[in-house]
A and B are shown apart, each in its own frame.
Chain A
Amino acid sequence: MKASWLAPLTAAALAFLVPAGVLHAQRGAPPPAAARDAAPIDLTGYWVSVVTQDWRWRMTAPPRGDYRGIPMTPEAFKVAAAWDPERDEKAGEECRSYGAPALMSVPGRIRISWQDAETMKVETDAGTQTRLLRFTPSPGAARGARSWQGDSVAEWQIMRGNAPLNLRPAERVPGVPAPAVGRGGSLKVVTSNLRGGYLRKNGVPYSENAVLTEYWEVFPRDNGEQWLTITTLIEDPRYLRETRMIAIPFKKEADGSKWDPTPCSARW
């Protein structure tokens, strides 16, 4: 009789003490879900950039020397002063201002889909670029050649709520909805292995050692609209005095009817 009471109590104590993740990792547990299946938010579809910020630098090709808003190092000023779009065109480098650190700021549309269960594909119509966000990069795999879009490692940031000790039923007030159960999350992406490029069309540089960190967050509204905010942090000790931080809003579109692929341009 004594043993029959002890077992439930022991199990109850273990339920408190052993985190769910540890239990999940026990031998015999099913493998973790693929990134596509584990997605806490749905990013797929067409999104249009809504240009309400930095308008004069994004919607136009700003003149030489317009560097306001970017914390450039003195060396970056020298490099930017030597900006020559004709030289870039001759070198076949019209896409220097469409690299990953600048791409999401370029006015246009993005199309997000799953290339496979572990790779999210982000395409842009402006500059016809493709970013691949890999959730499970091969450990120890040799990195490829540097590229405008670099190598992106992605991970879901899934909400882990506190687990309250509910010793009694939660009190409820008539007419007041129950607290929402935790849901949602965001996508964190870290990109490196880049080719050096431009943060701004007029030659503000970032170096090949720049590291881009992004947080992608979806904002569903009660009226059916969906918004996406990409919080963007760019670190580049060579050309930036401090981390450049911007958050870029997009609005979801019903379909791809406004998708308009245009090639990179060094001048516009």
Chain B
Amino acid sequence: MTRDFRSHLGAALAAACITLAAVPAAAQVELSGYWARAGDADNGYSREPVDLLGIPVSADGRAKALSYDIAALSATERQCQMYPPFYALTGPFGFRISSVQDPITQKLVAWKLDGWIDRDTTTIWMDGRPHPSEYAPHTHGGFTTGRWEGNTLTAVTTHAKMGDIKRHTSFSSDRATLTYRFTRYGDLMTVTGILEDPVYLAEPYVLTEIFRVSTGGQTFPLTACEPIEELPTLHENPALVPHYLPGQNPWVNELTQNRGIPLEATMGGPATMYPEYRKGLRETYKPPDTCKIDCGAPPAAAAPAPAPGGRGAPPPAK
């Protein structure tokens, strides 16, 4: 073996060793920043109080939704009842993402998602810790772990309290699991959420939303909940529990009256999500001649209408 050959062999081995060592251990994408809602989907639309269009509710989920009176949010004990993590996809607001790093090693320990005043912080633990026992306390923010799949952050949330998943029209139970993915495309980020709930959903409920990173800093308040007496009658009679008994929700027909959409469709359910359902609708759908309510308007004339009964006005018309 000549000296030249040994020299070249050594070079090749050294290069191979270092190249192998350079295989990425875990790809990471910077997610920190203020993210403003940028998508045009109607995730947060809530003009009609009974609107389960496209939501795969179970029979129990439908019953829960129809028993709900939004005035319940004004009851003293519910004024700071925050939304569950899924509200990041259905609420009208953006959120802030920040990283939590180990103070010594600087390794990423967690991501934090902070939102509007009605949403708790969601901490996405990235350090490999397991989810707690199913009997562990539940919180509004839930318990979340995450992992990288390529350039996408996949997170799983459990242990969240029961909450509002469709702006006052539908709910998830405290047994729900939310899997969501955060994928960044330049200054945009697509979030896909899959909510599974053995109590209130018959199939996974999938929503997507697009956010744009904001260079303008904080664009929304990150304050604690402020209890406000909105309905004096509840204060005068603390025993009053706003609700609707079965069959007595007065808003059930509003979507049908406003839009001509068959009542059966407005009640949701898994079948309403799939293309086959559209074929049957053709026979029963009786649209108005022209749109009369909340139709979108040219820029100069846009004037968002107030939401019926309570906090949370719909997003501005586009």
Binding site for B on A (CB under 8 A): 3-4, 7-12, 14-16, 40, 48-56, 59-72, 74, 77, 107-109, 126, 159, 161-166, 170, 173, 176-186, 215, 217, 219, 221, 225, 227, 229, 231, 233, 241, 244-249, 251, 258, 260, 268
Contact = CB atoms under 8 A, between A and B. Distances in A.
B295 A65 contact: yes
- Select the residue from B10, B27, B204, B282 with max chain A CB neighbours within 10 A: B27
A120 B108 CA distance: 38
Given A15-B22, A62-B291, A217-B190, 10 more contacts: A7-B8, A11-B11, A12-B14, A16-B18, A53-B42, A56-B261, A59-B278, A163-B23, A217-B181, A258-B276
Contacts of B240: none
A166 to B, nearest CB: 5
B14 A67 contact: no
Contact of A49 (B42, B185, B275): B275
Contact of B39 (A159, A219, A241, A246): A246
Contacts of A162: 24, 27-28
Contacts of A51: 54, 272-275
Given A53-B54, A126-B275, A11 B12 contact: yes
B46 to A, nearest CB: 13
Contact of A12 (B18, B55, B276): B18
Contacts of A40: 150
A177 B126 CA distance: 12
B296 interface: yes
A173 B275 contact: no
B318 interface: yes
Interface residues of B, number: 80
Contacts of B3: 3-4
Interface of B: 3, 6-8, 10-15, 18-19, 21-28, 38-43, 53-56, 128, 147-152, 179, 181, 183, 185, 188, 190, 192, 194, 204-210, 259-261, 265, 272-278, 281-282, 285, 287-291, 294-300, 317-318
A50 B15 contact: no
Contact of A249 (B148, B208, B274, B285): B208
Nearest to A81: B290
A260 B274 CA distance: 13
A245 B217 CA distance: 22
Contact of B21 (A55, A67, A166, A233): A166
A56 B291 CA distance: 12
A8 B14 contact: yes
Contacts, number: 240
A53 B41 contact: yes
B285 A60 contact: yes
Nearest to B196: A223
B156 to A, nearest CB: 10
Contacts of B317: 68
Contact of A8 (B11, B24, B297): B11
A164 B26 CA distance: 9
A221 B299 contact: no
A67 B185 CA distance: 28
Contact of A62 (B8, B40, B179, B287): B287
A182 B274 contact: no
Contact of B15 (A15, A161, A186): A15
Contacts of B277: 59
Contact of B278 (A62, A107, A159, A179): A107
B275 A56 contact: no
B285 A181 contact: no
A258 B296 CA distance: 35
A258 B276 CA distance: 9
A163 B24 contact: yes
Nearest to B149: A184
11 contacts: A4-B6, A15-B19, A40-B150, A51-B272, A69-B42, A162-B28, A166-B21, A179-B148, A231-B183, A246-B39, A247-B209
Q: Which of B10, B260, B294, B317 has the most CB of A within 10 A?
A: B10
A66 B39 CA distance: 18
A258 B279 CA distance: 13
Given A59-B281, A126-B275, A246-B41, A52 B27 contact: no
A109 B275 contact: yes
Contacts of B188: 231, 233, 245
A181 B273 CA distance: 36
Contacts of A225: 204
A258 B149 CA distance: 31
Given A109-B275, A161-B27, A249-B192, A268 B282 contact: yes
A189 B56 CA distance: 31
Contacts of A60: 261, 278, 281, 285, 287
A55 B21 CA distance: 50
Contact of B148 (A77, A180, A231, A251): A180
Q: Which 5 residue pairs are nearest across A and B when measured between Cβ atoms? A: A161-B24, A184-B150, A179-B26, A247-B208, A66-B291
